[in-house]
Copies of this chain bind each other. A is one copy, B any other.
Amino acid sequence: MARSELGRPAPAPEVGPDVYRRLREGIIAGRFQPNERLVEANLSRMLGAGRTAVRAALVRLDQEGLVTREHNRGARVRLVSDLEALQIEEVRAALERLLARQAAAKATATDIRELRHVLVDMRKRLSSGDAIGYSELNPKFHQLIWATARNPTAGRLVGTLKSQSLRFQYQTMLRPGRPARSLREHELIFSAIVAHDPEAADSAMRDHLEEVIETLRWAIGHKSRPPRWLPD
């Protein structure tokens, strides 16, 4: 195989992980419809990799809850119902509360500085009317809390949960006056962490996510029709 003239022998193609990442991104970004069949041969051609790599990626995504696999029946993009989304959010809330608590207990000066930086950015964007820019920073803020908590297990789990329910998040931010309140709630969480007050961080995070859960609960009650089953 041809190798680069200087230095490293081409930084390792790493086909396997790449296929996994691309498939995952494709699903999360919505490039595959929910409940759409994921045929291994198609993906293989599409991603330019062997079927084995695709297969391994599908196994991972299955365990991660992004696709479902039935024996001898192939894989489909997992369709998470409204009720499942609610349950996922409930679990996520429990984990985020734990993480906020631990973040408050363990936060260093550097952690706090980074958190403050993101929060300042959020305030800036919101006051300039950039609501979507604000919601783009939202995950960043939470991820910083996860990092501060130094609990890789909880961090990993909450990350995968978020990717599962990502499709529903827009519903929550569209409510009038929501962004402003969201910012206030974030500031409360930040203050609790700065004060190294785990109890306050816990309840602040609880209040923050309660809103999301309440919205989903409301959405379930007022659903006109049960979620459609898209045939192919």
Shortest Cβ distance from A80 into B: residue: B153
Number of residues of chain A lying within 8 A (CB) of chain B: 28
Q: Say whether A52 faces chain B, with CB atoms less than 8 Å apart.
A: yes
The answer to whether B154 and A90 have CB atoms under 8 Å apart is yes
Q: A94 is contacted by which of B55, B60, B87, B97 (Cβ under 8 Å)?
A: B97
Collect the chain B residues with CB atoms within 8 Å of residue A65's CB: 153
Q: Which residues of A from 84 to 111 have beta carbons under 8 Å from B?
A: 84, 87-88, 90-91, 94-95, 97-98, 102
The answer to whether B14 and A91 have CB atoms under 8 Å apart is no
The answer to whether B87 and A151 have CB atoms under 8 Å apart is yes
Collect the chain B residues with CB atoms within 8 Å of residue A98's CB: 90-91, 94
Collect the chain B residues with CB atoms within 8 Å of residue A59's CB: 56, 59-60
Q: Dominant SS at the A interface?
A: helix
A residues whose Cβ falls under 8 Å from a Cβ of B: 12, 14, 17, 52, 55-56, 59-60, 63-65, 71, 84, 87-88, 90-91, 94-95, 97-98, 102, 151-154, 157, 161
The 10 closest A-B pairs by CB, nearest first: A63-B63, A94-B98, A94-B94, A91-B154, A87-B151, A87-B153, A59-B59, A88-B153, A91-B153, A56-B59
- Jot down 30 A-B pairs with beta carbons below 8 A, ordered by A: A12-B71, A17-B71, A52-B52, A55-B56, A56-B59, A59-B59, A59-B60, A60-B60, A63-B63, A63-B64, A65-B153, A84-B152, A87-B151, A87-B153, A87-B154, A88-B153, A90-B98, A90-B102, A90-B151, A91-B95, A91-B151, A91-B153, A91-B154, A91-B157, A94-B94, A94-B95, A94-B97, A94-B98, A94-B154, A95-B95
